[in-house]
Chain A
Amino acid sequence: MITLPAWLRPNLVIKTAAAVAVMGFFDASYLTAKHFLGGPIPCSIFKGCDTVTNSVYASIFGIPVALLGAIFYLTWLILIIWYLDRGGEAIKKNLIWLGSAGFLFSIYFVGVQALVIKAFCLYCLISALTSTLLFILSLILRFRP
């Protein structure tokens, strides 16, 4: 067993989730800012960002997926901070719905990148990773005795 410093131990899982959500939020904010302000995303040797973020799959009903992602992570953060501030087991137990939605979206988008566009975007993959982590953490929060 690793012993953690006392201040870190309570709510460790939810604090980890907060850290992951912050990462996801920075990532999605960057992609959103790029979408609205940046010029075209250059084509990189590490292939893909141009093809992915310039593709028709980058928006849903005209709303850029990156913006939806930023809102998603912000929702996570607000709920976590609400919980840490005021408590509320219901929030903790129901984060799984948010987690599952993010996870399903990530599967869909990784699938689109792999099978349809046949190109990957690094920042999009980072987001898939952070939302998968959030999903796992939300499972722990829900089912941990």
Chain B
Amino acid sequence: MNNSKSLFLWGGLALVIVLALAIGLSLAGSKAPLTGGELTVPVTADDTIIGPATAPVTIVEYSDFQCPACGLYFPLVERLMKEFPNDVRLVYRHFPLPQHANAIAAASAAEAARAQGKFWEMYRLLFTNQDAWADKPADVALRTFRGYASQLGLDLVKFDLDLKNPVVLARINTQKTGGVNAGVDATPTFYLNGQKIANPSSYDNFASLVKAQLSH
């Protein structure tokens, strides 16, 4: 038996296993480092913003109401807003993906609600009830959105008009294009004070990134 050959073979296997673990752990990572991408479209008054204008931390989220991952991050972001009421403001930008058939309609519903000052209320309803409309036919989804609108006490005539308003669609597309130009290729994508972050794997992870910004 050739001992150095055995050592080479089995050692190689051990190395492969260790490497796979290391790669898996670092990619899937418990840490979410800043990844260097910069926000190319600056936050302006035209953006959809919640939280104090003086907040030291601005989170820009490129998101799609029909994306399951966005739905899973929604409670994390809500909790951040609640636990850092003076320190965090959130900017929501549309990034509807082509594989989500109702994503643009949902974005339009949020924009139509925004026209009546209820964007964030609609945003919460859309994410909280994502399962109720996400994979439904377009007409069912639309009926569901109108249901939310009336639940929020919106003027339904205006809501319907805004849904079809080309300005609404243009706004959605402009936001998406801004994201594409910045290199956004998946949702949700978060920017913390203008720096793209790898998606945090937990609330604590997210909160620690915010705290790191606060201690700068």
Contacts and interface: CB of A to CB of B under 8 A. Distances in A.
Contact of B70 (A30, A43, A46, A85): A43
B28 interface: yes
Contacts of B99: 43, 47-48, 51, 119
A43 B186 contact: yes
Contacts of B97: 43-45, 47
Contacts, number: 100
Interface stretch (A57-65, A76-84, A95-103, A125-133): A76-84
A interface bracket (residues with beta carbon within 8 Å of B):
20 to 34
B interface bracket (residues with beta carbon within 8 Å of A):
35 or more
A43 B72 contact: no
A34 B188 contact: no
B113 interface: no
Interface stretch (A21-29, A108-116, A134-142): A21-29
Interface in B1-44: 1, 5-6, 9-10, 12-13, 16-17, 19-21, 23-25, 27-30
Chain A residues touching B, majority SS: helix
Contact of A45 (B1, B12, B29, B186): B186
Contact of B201 (A38, A78, A85): A38
A39 B72 contact: yes
A43 B202 contact: no
Interface of A: 22, 25-26, 29-30, 32-34, 36-48, 50-51, 54, 70, 74, 77-78, 81, 84-86, 119
Interface of B: 1, 5-6, 9-10, 12-13, 16-17, 19-21, 23-25, 27-30, 64, 67-70, 72-73, 97-100, 185-189, 199-202, 205
